[in-house]
Chains A and B, each alone.
Chain A
Amino acid sequence: MEITSKSSGKSAAQMKRLNDTKTILRQPILLIAVIATIILLALFVVYPLVKVFIFSLTDETGKFSVENLHNILTSSRYLKVFGRTMLLGLIVAVLATTVGYIFAYTITRVDIPMKGFMKTIATLPILSPPFVLSLSVIFLFGKQGLITKNLLGIKGNNVYGMPSLIVVQVMSFFPIAYLTLSGILSSIDASVEDAACNMGAGRWKTFWTVTFPLSLPGIISGALLVFIQSLEDFSNPATIGGDYTTLSIEVYNIITGTYDMRKGSVLAILLLVPAVTAYLLNKYWVNKKSFVTVTGKPTQARKLIEEPHIKWPLFIICMLFAAVVLLFYGTVIFGSFVRTWGIDFSMTLDQYRRALQYGFGSLENSIILALISAVIGGMLGMIIAYITAKRDYYGKKFIEVASVLMFAVPGTVLGISYILGFNTKPLLLTGTAAILVIVFTFRNMPVAIESGTTTLLQIDNSIEEASTILGANSGYSFRRITLPLLRNAFFSGIVYSFTKAITAVSAVIFLVSPRWTLVTSKIYGLFDLAKYGQASAFVTMLIGVLLLFIGIFNTIINLLLAPRSRVPKLTKKAEESK
């Protein structure tokens, strides 16, 4: 046949790419969207990161040089910092995953009371503003510590250092492990465990031979995610790390203290490499190992474990942990109303008054900039999801990789890359609000893209075809069918972006300017001045702001945007003529 000869030598994937590319070239709006996206990603994601690499591999004159790299890799001080960072990451990953597993197993498998409460405790810290747990460690165990000084009578207890850091990071990051593991544990088909039981295995044996091995990919995944969080963390090591300096702190000290951007860049890359490695391992290796197949069908209901000798010990362990979490949050809120912690516990609103005098503007800035970036990020995220989900063309791979890259990059590295990239004309953005909005947008957008893509992939092709065959052109179908279906993904992206932006520390700590301060950098400043009371007032307000805005977003989603069922009526005239 004459048709066969034309296409020989090219794979089908290449043919599809070629065809889709041609289709896009014919659709001006789509083409503009693709090109604009590529330019934005190249400028605000790839370019600054490349700049960090260039800086770390050149000397003052701009010539290629490995001198900085060599100096740092042979310096015992920096190797020690690197080793400490990794060690902390490993310890926290193991402990947080263990706690997360106990919570996930107890909540998905055991018939315990107060499950809703447990779930809340195990997810709430994800939304928590930074500094809360550090503050309460200081309030409870510091020099003026409620437990150390007032209860135990220890004078001048040094709370700063590795043990506090471990406690605080485990409490901050165990929810990440919990969410991953409860997802995996509840998707293991109940009948697999029943089968083991049926063949004579007891609870203990069933757990070690079936449940545990099946959840292993989730355990590794959770541990890797916690490890990344621990590496990236700036606010906790900066406030209660004391002498235990981690990489992100070291980068901050070098850049704010000595302005040695080259040394800073090398250290940033030292931080970037393990974080990105862990991210890629999780994304491409662990996820492929997963045994769990999601069919979308509800599996048979699980019979929960009721034996008292399993139920009550697990309940008590979870309860104790939950009590500690509550104690820590409660301490900070309590602390914000106290006149002088450790000395004068009388109630007052002075802390709030002073905090607002000191930094009301920064709170306002944070809210406004976070909102702007969340909306932009949400829209851009939907556009990227739309142009990548069901098409293949030259340049798509770039969009896909570049748009999620920022997710894997530690905030400190991001901050330094933006200083390097945007401190000279024509790209002079440092000191402006724009740079903050851009950083928030590109850093927090991946979640919107992810949920948008998932939504689009779930929309059966035939739904768009149905719209087409009923006479709609592609623009009409997009407005009336695709866009409304993306609404929920858009709003969940916005909620995530907003929360992350308003609580961001490491990425913005270098980018704030006297004109544009943010609430988190102000709180960090209060730690330096040891004004913990004001800091706790600020943190409490931040919790309030977060809850308020999440509430507002949810109300918008539920009330204003829920599909309303409307049926039009005939006009009076037509009714009569009928």
Chain B
Amino acid sequence: MSQEKQTSEFSKKSSNVILKDITKVFQQPETGNDFIAVNHINLEIKDGEMVTLLGPSGCGKTTTLRMVSGFEYPTSGNVLIGGRDVAKVPPNKRGISMVFQSYALFPHLNVWENVAYGLKVAKVPNDEMIRRTESVMEMMQLKGMERRFPNQLSGGQQQRVALARAVVIEPSVLLFDEPLSNLDAKLRESMRDDLRALQKRLGITSLYVTHDQSEAMAISDRVVIMKDGNIVQQGTPDEIYEQPVSRFVANFIGKANFIDGIYKGKDGSAALVDLGGNTMKIPMPGAMPGVEVGKACCLTVRPESIQLTKDSKESGALTGTISRATYYGTKIEYEVDLHGKPIIVEVYNPQLTERFRTGDSVSMKLIERCVRVLQ
């Protein structure tokens, strides 16, 4: 059966979501003090787009998701779904759907009944309900499992049932609350790809919450990084990785090294930074928020953007000693002691490159195109 035919069963009803100056204040149970979980957030999810909210626990990402779902109401600000303000609309009237972290399958209903639940609630005519349920089950490779109960399914199967149940009602927006965090690592990766493929095929506007940065990168059109109730950066996965606006973002997405220097000013589009007497020219320094001439700044460089050579006393090269070497197969990760500060260097394809041992003296050459300047 062709993909087109399966998809055509699906009438597209998705719409965009706008969060306008949303704030949510909770009371802390222990002290009774107010706690600002979400602080004046503005965000737009375009029609058919997949946006991920990423951040450490307590950053407000789940609260934001729950305000879109309607399980929480904003203290101030507006939520618009398809242009309609849903402030007074309860969750069951928003026409949206959600995949829960615990899957939240109904334990007393079989797979078929679980999937058809939303259609039954909506009093969809019997024949249409059966057709739509069957079509989604086929799409999610759940054929033949109709009669099983949730406790007779594996984690991955439960996940697919949860997803089928959420999409069968053709929601205008699909919400994901850390849906993959209960799966083991291998399954998580394959489910992640399936999930993204499905979302693209159906073109459902999606908001996805996770604390797993690689999951966020792999799955989203756009990643929104949150910290302490604020959005610190949003952009496509490559923008976030390559152009972090702060040390927090650089550290949260992937690994990053920070080398202190003093900002000397610009030379065309390049930035000049003084590193202990040597001036380094950085061709693409980024937006450099908050960086001032003559003041301290830091260079951010990813571990894979540093080249290691035997200590060559070359001018401008940073020299240090290897303090740890870990072999991963696809790469070797070195920790280099640079005047008491650890620098992480990753060398890929170790079979083709020179290897170093703990105690070796090495020179590090930063690949200038990959260096960014931050405050």
Contacts and interface: CB of A to CB of B under 8 A. Distances in A.
B173 to A, nearest CB: 11
A277 interface: no
Nearest to A14: B32
B34 A565 contact: no
B126 A3 contact: no
Given A470-B169, A569-B130, A465 B121 contact: no
Contact of B104 (A10, A466, A476): A466
B106 A460 contact: no
A463 B106 contact: yes
Interface stretch (A191-199, A516-524, A570-578): A570-578
A469 interface: yes
B127 A574 contact: yes
Contact of B147 (A13, A462, A567, A578): A567
A472 interface: yes
A274 B147 CA distance: 54
A294 to B, nearest CB: 19
Interface stretch (B89-97, B255-263, B265-273): B89-97
B112 interface: yes
Interface string B73-108: 001000000000000001111101110111011111
A472 to B, nearest CB: 5
B106 A466 contact: yes
A464 to B, nearest CB: 8
A469 B86 CA distance: 14
B100 A12 contact: no
Interface stretch (B23-31, B180-188, B234-242): B23-31
Contact count band on A = 35 or more
Given A11-B32, A568-B126, A467 B131 contact: no
A99 to B, nearest CB: 38
Given A1-B25, A470-B118, A470-B165, A465 B110 contact: no
A7 interface: yes
Contacts of B70: 469
B117 interface: yes
B159 interface: no
A209 interface: no
A426 interface: no
A462 B126 contact: no
Given A12-B32, A466-B100, A469-B97, A566 B121 contact: no
B146 interface: yes
B205 to A, nearest CB: 15
Given A12-B32, A465-B100, A466-B100, A472 B92 contact: yes
Contacts of B148: 565
A485 interface: yes
Interface in A454-499: 460, 462-463, 465-473, 476, 480-481, 484-485
Contact of A12 (B28, B102, B106, B113): B28
B32 A570 contact: no
A86 B107 CA distance: 48
B116 to A, nearest CB: 8
B149 interface: yes
A3 B112 contact: no
Contact of A565 (B97, B122, B147): B147
Contacts of A466: 98, 100, 104-106, 165
B248 interface: no
Given A462-B102, A469-B69, A563 B108 contact: yes
B348 interface: no
Among A471, A476, A566, A574, find the residue whose CB has the most chain B CB atoms closer than 10 A: A471
Contacts of B91: 465, 468-469
Nearest to B123: A471
A12 B110 contact: no
A273 interface: no
Interface string B24-67: 01011111101010000000000000000000000000000000
B34 A1 contact: yes
Contacts of A468: 71, 90-92
B245 to A, nearest CB: 26
A4 interface: yes
Contact of A570 (B102, B104, B127, B169): B127
Given A3-B75, A472-B92, A563 B110 contact: yes
Contacts of A481: 106
Contact of A4 (B34, B106, B130): B34
Contacts of B122: 471
Interface of B: 25, 27-32, 34, 36, 69-71, 75, 90-94, 96-98, 100-102, 104-110, 112-113, 117-118, 121-122, 126-127, 130-131, 146-149, 165-166, 169, 175
Given A4-B25, A467-B117, 12 more contacts: A1-B34, A1-B36, A3-B75, A465-B98, A467-B106, A469-B97, A470-B166, A471-B118, A563-B108, A565-B148, A565-B149, A574-B130
5 contacts: A12-B29, A465-B100, A469-B91, A471-B92, A570-B127
